[in-house]
Amino acid sequence: MKNQNIRLISRLDIKGKNLIKGIQLEGFRVIGCPSDFAEKYYNQGADELIYMDAVASLYGRNHLAKIIQEAAKNIFIPLTVGGGIRSVDDATQIFRAGADKIALNTAAVANPNLISELAMKFGSQAVVLSVEAKKITNSHWEVYTDGGRVPTGLDVVEWIDKAISYGAGEVLLTSVDREGTRKGFDISLYSEVNKISNIPIIASGGMGNLEDLSEVLLNGKVDAVAMADALHYNRESIGKIRDYSKNLGFKVRDFDG
């Protein structure tokens, strides 16, 4: 939509104490210390930060609370935290550490009522549905959990529709096929989901260059873009991405550092 506000988000995938980056959610490489990168992106004018514990769902552990506690002391933009949140208690602990929103994937698939319980307690705006989508055909994607490893048999569009009715406030939609590949976003995935969604969609996975960004904004019609690889490897800066989006006709936050 012309004049639409969009958000530019940096996504930080975490394993243990490290910021990491994989390809198709696998083969993680250590990038560095999460707080260094978080501060850098904050100072560059990122609109939000998303922290994802890449292995918490697999091993049932969660190291994020400490990292978030530190971040919340000097980063004054919204923080979303996901990975390994299984219960209202887990979520409460993450909110107490300073998160503004939590992202649910594996636990929501196992028990959609958890979405409602969290939305009732913290408000829908604080509950992000995280979806890992794998392409099956040109118009059909399957929901995966546990960092893109476990197929669920659920159809992505139907699942998102259902999760919205349970009270999810936003969708972080990651294309497992494109994640970390720099081959561009899966545009048809986003435009299909946008047709049924009355809540904001955050695109994640595959940004290789600025043309990819324009594709996902103009044709995928997403409300926000989460970027990792492009920023971590200094291929693009948030400032440059912001100017580019503005030139496309989108409204972005003015930021002069």
Partner 1 sequence: MDKISIVDYGVGNLLSVRQGLQACGAQVDIVSDYKELTKASKVVLPGVGAFSAAMENLNNLKFTEVLKNLANNNVPILGICLGMQLLFDESEEFGSHTGLGILAGKVKKLPVHSVENEKIKVPHIGWSPLIPSVKSDIFFKEANIWMQKQEFAYFVHSYQVIPSDTDIEIAHTLFGSHKVCSIVRSEKIFACQFHPEKSANFGLRVLKDFCNV
Report strand pairing: 127-137 vs 170-175.
parallel
Paired tokens of 18:
């490290």
Point out which span in 39-47, 81-89, 103-111, 174-182 binds partner 1 (CB under 8 A): 39-47
Active site residue 13: yes
Q: Dihedral sign, CA of 248, 251, 256, 257?
A: negative
Residues 129-168, one symbol each (x = binds partner 1 by CB under 8 A, - = not), give ----------------------------------------
Q: Give the binding range for partner 1 (CB under 8 A) out of 4-12, 52-60, 81-89, 153-161.
A: 4-12
- Contact mark string toward partner 1, 40..79, x via CB under 8 A: --x--x-x------------------------xxx-xxx-
Least separation in angstroms between CB 223 and partner 1: 7
Cα–Cα distance measured from residue 29 to residue 233, given in angstroms and rounded to the nearest whole number = 12
**124 interacts with partner 1 by CB under 8 A:** yes
Distance CA 217, CA 224 (A): 8
The two three-digit tokens of residue 161, written as one number: 């529709």
Q: Which of 16, 123, 151, 249 binds partner 1 (CB under 8 A)?
A: 123
- Output the smallest distance, CB 219 to partner 1, in A: 17
Answer whether 20's CB lies under 8 Å from 13's CB.
yes
CA distance 61 to 70: 19
Could you confirm whether 39 is annotated as catalytic? no
Identified catalytic residue from 90, 132, 186, 236: 132
Q: Provide CB contacts within 8 A for 215, sequence distance 6+.
A: 184, 185, 187
C-alpha to C-alpha distance for 183 and 212, rounded to whole angstroms:
8
What is the size of the binding site for partner 1 (CB under 8 A)? 38
- What is the token pair recorded at 193? 């989901």
169 binds partner 1 (CB under 8 A): yes
Cα–Cα dist 64/133, whole Å: 24
Q: For partner 1, which residue of 53, 90, 223, 236 counts as binding (CB under 8 A)?
A: 223
Q: How far apart are CA 101 and CA 82, in angstroms?
A: 9
The residue among 126 and 131 lying less far from partner 1, judged by its C-beta, is 126
* Catalytic residue list: 13, 132
- Residues lying near partner 1 in the complex (CB under 8 A) are found at 1, 5-7, 42, 45, 47, 72-74, 76-78, 95-100, 121-126, 169-170, 197-200, 223-224, 251-255
